[in-house]
Amino acid sequence: MEITEKIIHQLYQTTRIISTGLNQQLEPCGIYSSEWAIITTVKTKGAMSQTALAKYLNIEPPAISKSLANLERKGLIERREGCNKREKTVMLTALALGRYTHWQAIVRQQRQQLLAGLSEERLNSCYGILKDICNNAQPSK
């Protein structure tokens, strides 16, 4: 297996393991890692359109709609009519805001465990490489 195949395979395996592990940690809270990504984005960036959220998280519109419907059923988000009648604005509910700190602590603990023992230099190098790969993966315009 050539190095490019090894790298892409390792990236895929690593993201799957991270996601699976976070799902296990968040399961008692009744949310999934994909839902956490939505919740934390709306919390940090504020209410935003469903389209902007999908674009920011790089999630296909049907998948974001399904996740948002699940979060809405759980009472964690609210979708309101946006600037035009076709666009919905996503915001967190009081229930989600009340639980946010607890979920954030779970996520923070998992991330600390994942990165334990890595020097600042290695972390910065890794971040730079991942950013470059992400930029290269973007479709040409």
Instruction: Assign residue 103 the CATH number of its domain.
Output: 1.10.10.10
Helix (H) / strand (E) containing 80: strand 77-81
Residue 77: phi and psi, rounded to 5, are -135, 165
pLDDT in tens, 47-90: 999 999 999 999 999 999 999 999 999 999 999 887 777 788 99
Question: What average pLDDT does the chain have?
Answer: 94
What confidence tier does 46 reach under pLDDT thresholds 50, 70, 90? Answer: very high
- Residue 109, pLDDT > 80, answer yes
The residues, any chain, with a CB within 8 Å of residue 123's CB and separated by 6 or more, are 115
- The pLDDT assigned to 141 comes to 58
* Nearest-angstrom CA–CA distance, 68 and 73: 9
- Residue 102, pLDDT > 80, answer yes
Chain position carrying tokens 């607890």: 102
- Residue 140, pLDDT > 80, answer no
Domain holding 62, by residue range, is 3-137
- The pLDDT assigned to 95 comes to 98
DSSP-based three-state secondary structure for 93: coil
Number of domains, the chain: 1
